[in-house]
Chain A
Amino acid sequence: MKNLWIVLIVIALAIGVLFVLPEPTDSPTESSTAAVTGAAPASEVTPPGRFAITNVRLFDGARVLDRAVVVVDQGRVIAAGRMMTTPIPDGAAVIDGSGKTLLPGLIDSHVHSFGDAQKDAARFGVTTVLDMFRPPTDFEAQHAARALIEPTDRADLFSAGYLATAEGGHGTQYGIDVPIPQGPGDAQSWVDARLAEGSDWIKIVVEGGRVWGSETPTLDAAMVQALVEAAHARDVLAVAHVSTRAEAELAVAAGVDGLVHLFVDEPVEPSMADNWAERGLFVIPTMPVLAAAHDQPGPNRMAGFGALSEKLSSEQRRSLNSAFPGAAMRSGRWPGVESSIATLHEAGVPLLAGSDAPNPGTAHGLSLLDAVIRLREAGLPTIEALRAATDVPASLFPIDERGCLRPGCRADLLLVSGNPLQDPSALLAIEGVWKNGSPVALETDAPPPSESEPGAATAEAVDLLAQPSGWMPSADDFMGGASESAIEPEDRGLRVTGTLRSGFAFPYAGAMWNAGNFPMDAVDRRGWSTLHLNVDSDLGMLRVMFFSGGNPQPVWRDIAPADAVEIDLTELAGVDLSAFQAVGVFAAQPNGAFEFVIEEARFE
């Protein structure tokens, strides 16, 4: 009897104790330990932007933890460390990262960002881009956007703005009105004007065009040195575009902080690399663009490219599938490029991953992954190749809080399946991307390319010559060139006359047929597969350009006009028939007056 009472009292006491056990304090200033262990009673609602990726392999920009957790709150990393020792706060949504690797959002240290490039980059895990030349038209908005920690689907952009080049030099051929520094005495005011526009550093072009088979005016040593000093006087970096050893030596002697390309006319010698390492010079080798310029296999050489390629936007496809003229002639130099990377790395020269997208053969985002993989292929340890896209650029460029996954860093995250530290191609297996702690949609908004939807035939065959109003004269004067053209319908077809003059990088003049009711209107023309073309001309070559998908740059195919030709549209990668705009037939060489008659032009 007595025992039973004792039992009941013990039970009552035990339950009573539960009622007096401490509850969490409501104060938001609870100590870190309390935040760790106290589970809030009403934590049903997950605070927006608070999540933890658990059980994941973590590369935090510098080192690797095998079983780690990263906690994100309000767009920032608030904790990162081993599973057992890293608290997961109340109400954090948990994402299981088993079998996956989490990296800082990557940094592409050499791009030219136009249009939706920042979106394309972010969808591929590149959350920061260092632009090496673009007009400063939107810098105010760009600076405001990157200062915020708000959900966005765009990579943060930092930029050199206008580049410093000689009158008519490299950089002036794109139809952008680049301000030209007028002699060393003008250097400081030129630099100050750039900084006033919002440039984050100064880029100087030292490019004689020799290795690319041309001759372009370039800045001399005194001018380069004056620009470097002017930049340093304002505490900003001065970086140089170079292509040859002599140009690199000129730039380095002038005191630049870094080279934004590796020179390619010969391999880097160890003594030069040692000298650079001593000076603290950094190099952005831009292997993806160099690979394309030397006719090397592109990103499609990698396992995992197939699945990823479906996420390419039409602009990414276009740039990836275009090619440098004459690349094959230069392929013999490629082994020297790869050996230079190893030499520089052994000497301790910091290497930064950069793609130079959207140059031919590259694509925003994708090519930065390629840049990391190419650094690995050229002999960098994998972790160093990853650092080249994370904490190395973050330590050299003024881009605080990026390229790292430590408390306080921006929650720019790239989650991939597998282990890129063992197999860098795992970088292509993108599972998720977060920018400022908010997930980025991996799919592109653009409709998939026509070849993936063979059943969606919507367009009938059309005889282009039956619609004379659809044609218009078109020439490079539109792009800043000096060529001109005129068209005139006649019995045989459409007569095109004009004059081709130097001025634009790739002079062209001819006639263009618009698929929509207005020039360059995009219309769905899926179902077309072939362009039949018969042109009567004395010219040895005509260039057929296809405009689609809103891309400013066309896809082109050179034809010999002697015979009727059929162009298989499905083989022309980069032509987006779901958003077809126009096709043009142009004279492209030689300079001088020309004349041709389009006798037959049919889409089928």
Chain B
Amino acid sequence: MNTAAISRNPSLQLIQAQWLNLVRTPSYTIPTLLFPLMFYSFFGLLMIRVQALWLLCTFATFGVMGAALFSFGVGIATERAQGWMMLLRASPAPVGAIVAGKAFGAMLFALIIVVVMAVLGATFGDVRLATSQWLLLTGVLVAGALPFCLMGLALGLWIKPNAAPAVLNLIYLPLGFLSGLWIPAMQFPPLLQAIAEWLPPYHLAALALDVTGAKTADWSAAMLNLGAFTLIFGVMTALGWKRLDGTRG
């Protein structure tokens, strides 16, 4: 591959731009990477070490969700504020490539979070999994970042740019908690348990728990839920994109 090839492929260029964007904005990169790792270390490795496997699955889900939401939510909102979004839309750059670039970044973060957390769990929490399970866990969670990318994208398109970080945190933390990513949902009172079963992070965590053998999951229910939410946020994204027409955004 050479520079000419890259220049001919706008998607690759945007992916590269995304990478540079991440490296050059440590104020975003560092917290996104460190927060879930920190939480996992506190809860999974220091406090409740016997549940290191369970909490590895749930906090990795938490981290993946965060990377996707913030990369898209805050990213898109900020770019709207900066006018970069308007420029992109005026340019012949394909819309799909913009999304793909960001999605690639979010998935790259997801990969890093899961792998580092897995190393922590294996080293300090005595988590032992077959190589196939380590790979499946990573695969499920990296792919599972996609619905949350769309969610972040939809929110980024709809929220006022300067409110984006606050609003996303207001969604991210309660959503993670209510989905049983911090405390297993089965510890919840019945009402909260019923709520948890509707939330997409609950189902992504369920898949992660399933592939590691911590708890069996109903794959069809989980896929249905994640699929439904992907569809909803897809529609919200499309509407949000259309809404930008005729605005400064």
Q: Which residue of B lies closest to A40 (CB)?
A: B213
Residues of B within 8 A of A23 (CB): 128-131
- Known contacts A4-B6, A11-B108; is A39 also within 8 Å of B133 by CB? yes
Residues of B within 8 A of A38 (CB): 53, 126-129
Confirm or deny: A17 has a beta carbon within 8 angstroms of a beta carbon on chain B: yes
Residues of B within 8 A of A300 (CB): none
- Known contacts A21-B122, A37-B50, A94-B215; is A14 also within 8 Å of B111 by CB? yes
Confirm or deny: B48 has a beta carbon within 8 angstroms of a beta carbon on chain A: yes
Q: Which of B12-20, B75-83, B89-97, B226-234 contacts A (4 or more CB under 8 A)?
A: B12-20
Are the CB atoms of B187 and A7 closer together than 8 Å?
A: no
Residues of A within 8 A of B129 (CB): 21, 23-24, 38-39, 41
Q: Which residue of B lies closest to A23 (CB)?
A: B130
Number of B positions contacting A (CB below 8 A): 45
Interface string of A1-15 (1 = CB under 8 A from B): 101101100110011
Are the CB atoms of A37 and B125 closer together than 8 Å?
A: yes
Residues of chain A from 1 to 55 with CB closer than 8 A to chain B in the complex: 1, 3-4, 6-7, 10-11, 14-15, 17-19, 21-25, 31, 33-34, 36-41, 43, 54-55
Q: Which residue of A lies closest to B212 (CB)?
A: A39
Are the CB atoms of A90 and B213 closer together than 8 Å?
A: yes
- Complexed CA–CA distance, A87 and B183 (Å): 15
Confirm or deny: A399 has a beta carbon within 8 angstroms of a beta carbon on chain B: no
Confirm or deny: B135 has a beta carbon within 8 angstroms of a beta carbon on chain A: yes
Are the CB atoms of A33 and B16 closer together than 8 Å?
A: no
Are the CB atoms of A18 and B118 closer together than 8 Å?
A: yes
Confirm or deny: A84 has a beta carbon within 8 angstroms of a beta carbon on chain B: yes
Residues of B within 8 A of A25 (CB): 128
- Complexed CA–CA distance, A14 and B110 (Å): 11
Confirm or deny: B85 has a beta carbon within 8 angstroms of a beta carbon on chain A: no
Residues of A within 8 A of B20 (CB): 3
User: Which residue from B12, B52, B125, B128 sits with its C-beta under 8 Å from A24?
Assistant: B128
Confirm or deny: B3 has a beta carbon within 8 angstroms of a beta carbon on chain A: yes
- Complexed CA–CA distance, A84 and B212 (Å): 18
Residues of chain A from 472 to 527 with CB closer than 8 A to chain B in the complex: none
Are the CB atoms of B134 and A55 closer together than 8 Å?
A: no
- Known contacts A1-B3, A18-B115; is A37 also within 8 Å of B128 by CB? yes
Residues of A within 8 A of B166 (CB): none
- Complexed CA–CA distance, A11 and B122 (Å): 20
Residues of B within 8 A of A43 (CB): 213
- Known contacts A4-B6, A11-B108, A37-B126; is A21 also within 8 Å of B186 by CB? no
- Known contacts A4-B6, A21-B122, A37-B125; is A11 also within 8 Å of B53 by CB? no
19 examples of A-B residue contacts, CB within 8 angstroms: A4-B6, A4-B15, A4-B19, A7-B16, A10-B112, A15-B115, A18-B131, A18-B134, A21-B129, A22-B128, A23-B128, A24-B130, A33-B50, A34-B126, A36-B51, A37-B50, A37-B127, A41-B130, A83-B187
